[in-house]
Amino acid sequence: MADPSTSPPLTRASVAAAHTLITPCIHRTPVLTNTTLSHLASTPLSVSPSNPHPSHPTIRFHFKCENLQRIGAFKARGAFHALERLRASPTFNPSSGVCTHSSGNHAQALALAAKTAGIPAHIVMPSISSPAKLAATKGYGARIIPSGSTSSEREAVVAEVIKETGATLIPPYDHPDIILGQGTAGLELQEQVAPTKLDAIIAPCGGGGLLSGTALSCEGTGIKVFGAEPEFEGGDDARRAYYSETGERIASVKTLTIADGLRTPVGAIPWSIIYERRLVAGMYAVTEDQIKAALRLVYERMKIVVEPSAVVGLAVALFNEEFRSMVEKEGGEKGWEIGVIFTGGNVSLEALGKLFAE
Instruction: Examine the domain organization and report whether 66 and 83 are in the same domain.
Output: no
Mean pLDDT of the chain: 94
Instruction: Examine the domain organization and report whether 245 and 347 are in the same domain.
Output: yes
- What is the DSSP track for 14-52? HHHHHHHHHGGGS----EE--HHHHHHHTSPPPPBTTBS
pLDDT > 90? residue 4: no
Q: Is residue 270 part of a domain?
A: yes
Kindly indicate the confidence band of residue 10, based on its pLDDT and cuts at 50, 70 and 90. very high
Q: Is residue 86 part of a domain?
A: yes
Lowest-confidence range among 182-191, 238-247, 252-261?
A: 252-261
Instruction: Examine the domain organization and report whether 87 and 216 are in the same domain.
Output: no
Q: What is the pLDDT of residue 357?
A: 83
Q: Is residue 4 part of a domain?
A: no
pLDDT > 80? residue 103: no
Instruction: Examine the domain organization and report whether 25 and 79 are in the same domain.
Output: no
Q: What is the pLDDT of residue 102?
A: 85
Residue 241's nearest CA partner among 250, 232, 233 is 250
Q: Look up 75 and say whether it is catalytic.
A: yes
Residue 65's nearest CA partner among 288, 342, 298 is 342
Domain boundary among 114, 149, 169: 169
Instruction: Examine the domain organization and report whether 138 and 148 are in the same domain.
Output: yes
Check 14, 38, 42, 75 and give the catalytic one.
Answer: 75
Kindly indicate the confidence band of residue 152, based on its pLDDT and cuts at 50, 70 and 90. confident
pTM over 0.85: yes
Instruction: Examine the domain organization and report whether 234 and 289 are in the same domain.
Output: yes
Q: Is residue 283 part of a domain?
A: yes
**Rounded average pLDDT over 145-151:** 84
Instruction: Examine the domain organization and report whether 160 and 187 are in the same domain.
Output: no
**Rounded average pLDDT over 297-315:** 97
- Is residue 332 helix, strand or coil? coil
Q: What is the pLDDT of residue 130?
A: 78
Instruction: Examine the domain organization and report whether 16 and 47 are in the same domain.
Output: yes
Q: What is the pLDDT of residue 30?
A: 98
Q: What is the pLDDT of residue 1?
A: 62
Q: What residues contact residue 291 under an 8 Å CB cut-off, 6+ apart?
A: 230, 257, 258, 259, 308, 311, 312, 315
pLDDT > 70? residue 358: no
Phi and psi at 100, nearest 5°, equal -160, 175
Domain count, the chain: 2
**Rounded average pLDDT over 317-333:** 97
pLDDT > 80? residue 201: yes
Kindly indicate the confidence band of residue 127, based on its pLDDT and cuts at 50, 70 and 90. confident
Q: What is the extent of the structural domain holding 204?
A: 12-71+176-355
DSSP 8-state code for residue 89: -
Q: Is the dihedral of CA 333, 336, 337, 342 positive or negative?
A: negative
**Rounded average pLDDT over 169-187:** 96
Q: Is residue 65 part of a domain?
A: yes
Kindly indicate the confidence band of residue 315, based on its pLDDT and cuts at 50, 70 and 90. very high
Instruction: Examine the domain organization and report whether 187 and 233 are in the same domain.
Output: yes
Q: What is the pLDDT of residue 71?
A: 95
Q: Is residue 131 part of a domain?
A: yes
Q: Is residue 18 part of a domain?
A: yes
Instruction: Examine the domain organization and report whether 252 and 194 are in the same domain.
Output: yes
**Rounded average pLDDT over 205-234:** 97
Instruction: Examine the domain organization and report whether 67 and 115 are in the same domain.
Output: no
Instruction: Examine the domain organization and report whether 257 and 342 are in the same domain.
Output: yes
Q: Look up 254 and say whether it is catalytic.
A: no
CATH number at residue 331: 3.40.50.1100
Q: What is the pLDDT of residue 197?
A: 94
Q: Give the strands of the sheet with 98-101, arranged side by side.
A: 143-147, 121-126, 98-101, 168-169
Q: Is residue 21 part of a domain?
A: yes
Domain boundary among 117, 149, 169: 169
Check 38, 102, 103, 129 and give the catalytic one.
Answer: 103
Lowest-confidence range among 133-147, 176-190, 305-319?
A: 133-147
Lowest-confidence range among 126-130, 218-222, 261-265?
A: 126-130
**Rounded average pLDDT over 173-185:** 97
